[in-house]
Structure 1
Amino acid sequence: MSIKNTFIVPHPPLIVPRVGRGQEIKIEETVKAYDKIARKIAELRPDTIVVATPHSIMYSDYIHISPGKGAKGDFGEFGEPDIKYEADYDTEFVHKLSELAERQDIPAGTLGERKKSLDHGTMVPLYFINKYYTGYKLVRIGISGLSSIDHYDFGRCIADAAEKLNRNVVFIASGDLSHMLKDEGPYGYSDEGPAFDKEVTEAMNSGNFMRFLTFDEEFCEAAAECGLRSFIMMAGALDGRAVNSELLSYEGTYGVGYAVASFEVTGSDDNRRFGRLYGMEEEERINSLRKNEDEYVRLARRTLESYVIHHNKLEKPDNLPSEMLTGKAGVFVSLKMDGQLRGCIGTVSAATECIADEIIQNAISAGMEDPRFNPVTKKELNKIQYSVDVLKESEPIKSISQLNTKQYGVIVKKGRRSGLLLPNLEGIDTPEEQVSIALKKAGINPGDDYAMERFEVVRHN
């Protein structure tokens, strides 16, 4: 046995009548669709229901699976502490899933639980399911800051666990869409909000899970979505499966997108191995970039590859352009993988004999010593995209109005504290955002007196 059906559902607490106090009437289509899938789940009579929720424990580099024999929860946070839920966990499934993820080198498991109680991303689906069926055990999984493909591959492990344990499993991908559909909504309005919801619901209706994998991170952040990684995990659980896709409802009444969709497994389809297809497209894209990389980027890449594979610091080549061998400047080396930052380390001013040495030093640091990430591994090298920023001399400025995020980076200083932000970064659209992030990096209070400098860079991609 294996996964027979998966569902995408939203999790607004107000959909529960005692919490919504009449507000649920305005999302009646969502309620009807929710009841429809709950009745379908009752017909399927699953042994195990797997719920992926963005409101369980979330780590930047680890997918958390809830441990123990079970958990309880209530809607006290939303004014109704007497609405309570209790779920028994499928401990055997959790153990097998953790084991399979470890074999696939996916950072996932039951470590680091900080809050045991059920979250509303889990309880809202249970409210509907439990009206019709209670003969199941639960597996609750959080999302993480890992890449889309990591979540997809983890979804494949879920399907594998179901097959190995001969479980009848239903997968619930809990997640709202954009939170920026209306000015009066919880986060206001952005053009990306409706655009995201249109694209993602079209993907749901057609069963085009490749679209889930290829959304731009900056676009998703601007749309303020919360469910995409749950959906991607679900897509991975359906890897290689033919499905009957149906978008049952979509509403954005309260400025947040609520979609209900069903994906019924109808057989096998080797053309729907989207993780493999995504990997092939990414490899082709990276290879194309490397064919066109200049000497600055090539030196950064070769340096890190040499260090990771051979544990040796690359000797500086003699045939580099003269400006790399004689010029001095601060240099930042940035690494991206699967569309996400993978490391970035640099120097504000020259710390070595020449730009080439600066690149070699900072390429190793970006790959191995950035405290936000684990060291780069051999298997990651072919997926990494490099960029090198060579800093020009900075100049003091008196006002934030003298900044332009596309042209200038910024340095903020107070005493021995300083923070730097490069120019032309994804998601940084205003000088105010730029300075705010630089202050945070420096540990400087925005209300303090501080000095600012601006600088330009020559960016090599």
Structure 2
Amino acid sequence: MMPLVAAAIAPHGFPIIPVLSDDAEGALETRKQMQLMGSTFKEVGVEAVIISGPHGIRVDGSFAVVDAARVAGTLRWNGNFAEVNAPCDRPLIDALVRVATEDGLPVSRVSYAGNRVDQAVAPLDWGVMTPMWFLGHDQNESGSGDVLALAPEPNGAPGVVLVTPSRSLPLAAMVEFGRAIGRVLGDDARNVGFIASCDWAHTHREDGPYGFHESAARVDRAVVDALRRNEPGVLVELDQHDIETAAIDGLWQTLMLAGIQEIVPLTIDVLSYEAPAYYGMIVATAMPDGR
């Protein structure tokens, strides 16, 4: 099993997108490392990528997989706009749903707009749109972020499969789903990748929307330490109270990466950690051993 050529943990604090903010709202190092991550995926020739994020369409008690021909979305920040319109990878969607279902995992196909799958276009959220931007979906053509926009011309950026986990499922299910992803990617003949879209503690500052909690720094430190030890799976043991008070949103997706790592040995390299606003952001690559 080898066609998995690259994986990553990527933040989705969208002011890191260059056209939205010149200074990335203080996260210039995060932006720099996201650009490096994108270059790495391009260098190894990623043709399709599964992205798991926390902010997409959710189905209680199920893994929601976008089942559409394309995805489109627009982000706005301080008068600036970023627009993305990108193809979904239909064969990879079908393979993932099939394998996960065979494994007994609850999976729901979700769609939007056209009732024929070849005409369906699902709306993008910032949790997946941000990493997609750094994977080459950065043409930013005016109007392209509307689900009714015309399909874009192929530009060499990878097709996407978007997954949103349900937090009502046990954490162990995230690892199991990751194993399914690992087998699906390992069986694909193309160069394929995976991104866990994650922000971490959201309670670093009193003036943030979730207020301040002392657990924020402690939880982020524990996550960075686990990743540096190449042991994302130990995060399943994070204290539930700390998970809630730190208000992290990356645990579920990172445990999927841990499951993938059980199928395809990966070496994690933490490129950066920053928390210039109220939330923490980690950029880390996870490359197959031997590459």
Name the counterpart of 1:8.
9
CA distance in 2, matches of 1:181, 1:19: 23
1:186 Cα offset (Å): 2.9
1:144-164 Cα deviation digits (max 9, x unpaired) = 121111111111111211222
Contact 1:58 1:142 in 2 (8 A): yes
AA partner of residue 11 (structure 2): P
Residues 430-453 of structure 1, C-alpha deviations (whole Å, 9 max, x = no match) = xxxxxxxxxxxxxxxxxxxxxxxx
TM (norm. structure 1) is: 0.54
Unaligned runs of 5+ in 1: 268-461
Q: Tell which structure's C-alpha radius of gyration is larger.
A: 1
The offset of 1:168, in angstroms, is 1.5
By how many angstroms is 1:167 displaced? 2.9
- The question of 1:135 aligning with 2:157 is answered yes
| Distance (Å, rounded) in 1 between the aligned partners of 2:127 and 2:223 | 19
Letter of the aligned partner of 2:239 in structure 1? D
Alignment of 1:62-461 (within 5 A): 62-76=62-76, 78=77, 82-111=81-110, 116-130=122-136, 134-145=156-167, 146-266=169-289
Is the 1:71–1:86 contact (alpha carbons within 8 Å) kept by the matching residues of 2? yes
Cα pair 1:94 1:139 within 8 Å, conserved: yes
Q: Residue 158 of structure 1: SS of its match in structure 2?
A: helix
Q: SS at the partner of 2:193?
A: strand
**Percent of residue pairs identical:** 25
SS at 1:6's partner residue?
strand
Contact kept in structure 1, 2:62 and 2:106, CA below 8 Å: yes
Deviation for aligned residue 1:82? 4.6
Q: Distance in 2 between matches of 1:162 and 1:156?
A: 10
Offset at residue 194 of structure 1 (A)? 0.7
Q: How many Å apart are 1:220 and its aligned residue?
A: 0.3
Show structure 2 runs of 5+ residues with no match.
114-120, 140-154
Q: Secondary structure of 1:193's match?
A: helix
**In 1, Cα distance between equivalents of 2:209 and 2:44:** 36
Aligned length: 265
Task: Provide the rounded CA distance (Å) in 1 between the counterparts of 2:129 and 2:79.
Answer: 13
TM-score w.r.t. length of structure 2: 0.85
Asked if the contact 1:49/1:172 (under 8 Å) is kept, the reply is: yes
1:187 shift after superposition: 1.6
Q: Report the alpha carbon displacement of residue 83 of structure 1 after superposing the two structures with TM.
A: 2.2
Higher relative contact order (CA closer than 8 Å, sequence separation 6+) = 2
Question: Which structure dedicates a bigger proportion of its chain to helix?
Answer: 1
Shift of 1:25: 5.5
Q: CA RMSD in A?
A: 2.1
